[in-house]
Amino acid sequence: MDFSIKAFDTKNTIASAKTGCVAVAVYENKKLSLAARAFDQGGEITAALKSGDITGKAGSTLLLRGVTGAKAERVLLVGLGADEDVSEKSFTTAIGATLKAFAQLGAADAIIALPMMEVKGRDLAWAVRAIVCAAHESVFRTDGQKSKKDPAPTGVRKITLAADFVDSKTKIALAQAEAIANGMDLTKELGNLSANVCTPTYLANTAKKLGKDYGFDIEVLERKQLEALKMGSFLSVTNGSEEPPKFIVLKHMGAKKSDAPVVLVGKGITFDTGGISIKPGPAMDEMKYDMCGAASVLGTFRAIGEMNLKLNVVGIIAACENMPSGRATKPGDIVTSMNGLTIEVLNTDAEGRLVLCDALTYAERFKPAAVVDIATLTGACIVALGHHNSGLFTRSDDAHEALAAELLAAGKEASDTAWRLPIEEAYNEQLKSNFADLGNIGTPGGASVTAACFLENFTRNYTWAHLDIAGTAWKSGGAKGATGRPVPLLSTFLINRT
């Protein structure tokens, strides 16, 4: 889908625009938006509201043809709710309804002339991003592995956004929105692929392609190199699988070489059976999504590459499968991590933290400005937060409070929200082992917190935050599929650091 943004004024009016369709807003109190008034020369819109053909409720629509004085073939009336208080929900509902109507038209192009500056607490950049990401979602396909593809999308393929003004910041906002939407698409595509296709090797090849497309430095470490680095914790998870592990390092050097980078660390378990501590059968197919942390790092790198972001960013992905076999790590085994701490593997299904801890130790070599790890880590996070917010964990000193504030603000700005949960020394008591420095699970209670506290033991030498995306990375049921989160949060966080 192609996007552009254009300002309309008294000389170049919205009513004189030649296009297949123009979407304009109406309100529940029968008022018209400024763009809608431009199309009401013959009173057709006012009459439609008075007759009740459209209520103005957010998401209601009515398509008009042959509107007096309009050069557009069609005018789509879109309800936006209360005019004095256009909420984020009302706006996104209206956008969704607009795109649904566009998909059913015989027009190839259209203009969205909804009032992007009237959403309470939001600016133009947010509205542009909301429209572009929603448009990408409306045409996103999940039939890549079907022998017979779904019918090709029809309807509008070229959208112009009508703005009150267009300056360099507006154009940047559109470019950033498209980059983030493209990054989300990549993350969703990777997440939705079956695990026999999206293997650790496939993730490594995807990273290599991104490196070629956007000029990233890339290195893929193989088993022998990981053994030399003494990544015993990561390698313990790989023991039961025939698929070779891949440790992927991407570098986007958009600032001075001397500038400390932000490091993103992604959990890349391309399929998680639970290992010897095997999961129950129902919904185990969804464990192909256990690499969504890795997919979000790759999606974010696509976004920052497309934007050519003026920032140094390193991406680290620890990719492997967690499978049961005669070679698999057993409950009670003790492994040694890269930083020397020994870990008693009490549950082989708590494998994400075992791969991440070595990746977090490896991140230290980059002398980072900040490290953020992203992982579908715990079902307990879904119990705590449901599917609305990702879990955010970090320490409580000034540097970490500032990082948490940045990430939470980026999430709100991007409508990809997170909620902060505690990390406290008391929770580390639950991780004590009689036989090793740490157990890989804690005693019952606060499982998402103890998982974060486990990781915190490997991050003491830099500023760090952990995002648990177990509840937000994918949807189940009839809408099953990867969401592309938290690419908007991460991309916005990085944009705000430039």
Indicate if the alpha-carbon torsion angle 400, 405, 408, 411 is positive or negative: negative
CB 110 within 8 A of CB 19: yes
Count the neighbouring beta carbons within 10 Å of the beta carbon of residue 430.
Answer: 18
pLDDT at 285: 97
Reduced to 3 states, what is the DSSP secondary structure of residue 418?
strand
Domain coordinates in residue numbering, the chain? 2-166, 178-495
pLDDT at 207: 98
Residue showing tokens 């192609």: 2
CB 314 within 8 A of CB 250: yes
Q: Cα(105)–Cα(103) distance, rounded to whole angstroms?
A: 6
Residue showing tokens 């005669």: 326
Written as six digits, the tokens of 266 are 């992604």
pLDDT at 334: 98
Paired strand residues for 24:
77
CB 420 within 8 A of CB 408: yes
Spans of the chain below 70 pLDDT: none
Between β-strands 109-112 and 158-163, what pairing exists: parallel, antiparallel or unpaired?
parallel
Q: Cα(250)–Cα(262) distance, rounded to whole angstroms?
A: 12
List, by residue number, the catalytic residues. Answer: 279, 353
CB 421 within 8 A of CB 393: yes
pLDDT digits (tens, 9 = 90+) for 345-387: 999 999 999 999 999 999 999 999 999 999 999 999 999 999 9
Q: Identify which of 204, 403, 418 has the alpha carbon closest to the alpha carbon of residue 317.
A: 204
Q: Angle 445-447-448 (CA atoms, 0-180°, nearest 5)?
A: 135
Residue 456 corresponds to which amino acid?
E
Q: Which residues contact 229 (CB under 8 A, 6 or more apart)?
A: 221, 338, 358, 362
pLDDT at 252: 98
Q: Cα(63)–Cα(61) distance, rounded to whole angstroms?
A: 7
Written as six digits, the tokens of 157 are 């393929």
Per CATH, the number for 2-166 is: 3.40.220.10
Question: Omega before 486 cis (within 30°)?
Answer: yes
The alpha-helical segments, DSSP class H, found in 61-214 are 88-103, 124-139, 168-192, 200-214
pLDDT at 372: 98
Count the neighbouring beta carbons within 10 Å of the beta carbon of residue 212.
Answer: 10
178-495: what CATH class? alpha beta
pLDDT at 377: 98
Reduced to 3 states, what is the DSSP secondary structure of residue 452?
helix
pLDDT at 293: 98
Same fold? 2-166, 178-495: no
Q: Cα(338)–Cα(266) distance, rounded to whole angstroms?
A: 17
